[in-house]
Amino acid sequence: MDVRGVELQVQRAVGPVAERMGLTLLDVELSSEGAGWYLRLYIDKESGVGIDDCARLSEEADGLLDSMDPIPHAYVLEVTSSGEKPLRFAEEYEKYAGKNVLISTYKQVNGLKKHEGRLIGLIEGEVVIEDDNGKQSRIPFELVSKARLAARY
């Protein structure tokens, strides 16, 4: 199974449904975890995502995905706010510039292994973030072990 292909297919199908509900479908992630598969839909909206938004989109997407049947095995569908969205690909660091992020590194950078701030982007192989005082930190991309959008830092 082509995981990225399935993710794109789901994004194209569910994105317009989310838009009609006043939501933005930011990302789709299909992953194998333990003995099961999970399909995660990451959503956002200007006034903030609530549990009712997640439940409504989950119900709509579930029916649509059942009719499409893009995944040839059982999976769990999760709809969540963008505050939990992991940054997995280099291009996402540009796409989400201006958003708050939490970044963990394999080893210390500037004396820290946990970094938080507003994402500036990926510049010359380094993730650039800025704190509330306007001070920028540069983290080599190859040292990033985990990164995700943060609802608030």
Strands 126-130 and 136-140: antiparallel
For the chain, give every domain's residue range.
Answer: 3-84, 92-149
pLDDT tens-digit readout, 83-132? 667 888 888 898 889 988 999 999 999 999 999 999 999 999 999 999 98
Spatial contact of 115 and 94, defined as CB atoms under 8 Å apart: no
Enter the pTM of the model. Answer: 0.65
Rounded-to-integer distance, Cα 90 and Cα 97, Å: 12
Predicted local confidence at residue 35, as pLDDT:
87
Question: Class of 92-149 per CATH?
Answer: mainly beta
- Which pLDDT tens digit goes with each residue over 53-93? 999 999 999 999 999 999 989 999 999 887 667 888 888 89
Predicted confidence (pLDDT) per residue in 46-55, tens digit: 788 889 999 9
Cα-Cα end-to-end distance for the chain:
37
CATH 3.30.300.70 assigned to 3-84: yes
